[in-house]
Amino acid sequence: MTDLKPKILIVDDERLNIRLLYEGLKDEYQIIVGSTGRDAIRLATKELPDLVLLDIGLDDISGHEVCKALKANPTTKNIPIIFVTAQDTYEDELKGLELGAIDYFRKPFSIPLVRVRVRNQIELKRKTDMLQYLSSIDGLTGLANRRQFDEHLSSTVRYADRQHRGLCLLMIDIDRFKQYNDLYGHVRGDDALKVVARVLKKCAARPLDFIARFGGEEFIILLTDSSPEEGALVAERIREQVEKLFIPHEGSEYGFLSVSVGVANIKPDVGEHIDERAFVEHADTCLYFAKESGRNRVISEDFELQIKPNSKK
Ligand SMILES: Nc1nc2c(ncn2[C@@H]2O[C@H](COP(=O)(O)OP(=O)(O)OP(=O)(O)O)[C@@H](O)[C@H]2O)c(=O)[nH]1
């Protein structure tokens, strides 16, 4: 069974200190312990604790250096760090706080005080995590929002650039959605957006597939390590699955709800620098051509797909 208690990493080179903190906190938290600076960096990166209690005077790498390393790493930079130290000069405390630590415990510490301050920091972390989550999610569909997508695109493009990997970008837009809202109302319109989001999740379900609501009735999918053929196939599967829902749409030339999809590709081993804005623009241009050439179809920038929608009125 998974332990849902918040996780605290305690790093100290004195066993007695670890023991005192462990005994004082073990009832409310999962505790992981380490005794060196290397342990601190390794365990923080692997376990992603909710809080680190970090001794400053470690033998191999000082607590200050560990703090710097954790704050410089995007994966660990938001983990709160509290310094635990016998050093009690004003300069030490200032240095620790300037490096990004959130609090400072002096040895010998009072366990009741440690408990209260740890609880406060954990509570703050929970709220910050929740805010971060809410600011990255589209409330209607539960998909990533545009903001999260932009961040993901940036890091994925950098990865693909370094590793010469293929990427496909699918831009998906519901056809005649204004008319759909006008005919059936906004609540049904919202339902349609949720249904399309479910189709996208079903059709792009590999661990590295990233789906987001790009805005309004537009969605975007980034497929990592994928060829143009794979991108076009996923796009066509999406188009077909939405069509097969047979959701009535009297304002559409097909009689049912449909989507158009534009697909842009970055091919591996091309050796050119990838421009992420141009990548999105290419997908958007293909989507535009899909709309212009009749909707309910896929246009890929790399090859023509002969898709004949079969539900014409
Ligand atoms: N119900 C609902 N409608 C939305 C939402 N976001 C955007 N829309 C509507 O989506 C419609 C998009 O319309 P247009 O951009 O004109 O495009 P379209 O009618 O789909 O036409 P084509 O894209 O050319 O097929 C607008 O009427 C928006 O109000 C939403 O969250 N819920």
* Amino acid found at 95: K
- Is 175 near ligand 1, meaning CB less than 6 Å away? yes
Question: Low-confidence residues of the chain, pLDDT below 50?
Answer: 305-308, 310-313
Amino acid 304: pLDDT: 52
Domain residue limits, the chain: 7-134, 146-300
- pLDDT value at position 2? 55
Taking the whole predicted model, whether its pTM rises above 0.90 is answered as: no
DSSP tag of 248: B
The Cβ of residue 151 has, within 10 Å, a number of other Cβ atoms equal to 12
Please tell me if the CB atom of residue 171 comes closer than 6 angstroms to any atom of ligand 1. no
CB 224 within 8 Å of CB 208: yes
Give how far Cα 199 sits from Cα of 90, 172, 238, 245, Å: 59, 11, 7, 10
User: What is the spatial distance between Cα 88 and Cα 104, in angstroms, rounded to a whole number?
Assistant: 10
3-state secondary structure of 250: coil
Residue 173 CB less than 6 A away from ligand 1: yes
**Sign of the CA dihedral 83, 84, 86, 89?**
positive
DSSP three-state, residue 259: strand
Q: Output the CA 217–ligand 1 centroid distance in Å.
A: 5
For residues 234 and 242, the answer to whether their CB atoms sit within 8 Å is no
Query: Mutate which of 182, 217, 250 to test ligand 1's pocket (most atoms within 8 Å of Cβ)?
Result: 217
pLDDT of residue 307: 47
User: Which residues are paired to 221 by β-bridges?
Assistant: 170, 211
Taking CA atoms only, the protein residue closest to ligand 1 atom 6 is 216
Q: What is the ipTM of this complex?
A: 0.93
Counted residue by residue, the chain has a size of 313
> Residue 95: how many CA atoms within 13 Å on its side-chain side?
15
- Give Cα separations from 171 to 6, 16, 232, 253, 285 (angstroms): 39, 58, 11, 21, 10
Query: CA 58 → CA 61, 67, 226, distances in Å?
Result: 6, 12, 46
Q: Indicate which atom in ligand 1 lies nearest the CA of residue 175.
A: 25
The response to whether residue 177 sits with its C-beta less than 6 Å from ligand 1 reads yes
Give the pLDDT confidence score for residue 85 in this predicted structure.
83
Homologous superfamily in CATH for domain 7-134? Response regulator (3.40.50.2300)
Nearest to 31 by CA among 2, 58, 5, 57: 5
**What's the pLDDT at 22?**
96
- As assigned by CATH, the class of the 146-300 domain is alpha beta
Identity at 121, one-letter amino acid code: Q
Beta bridge partners of 51: 8
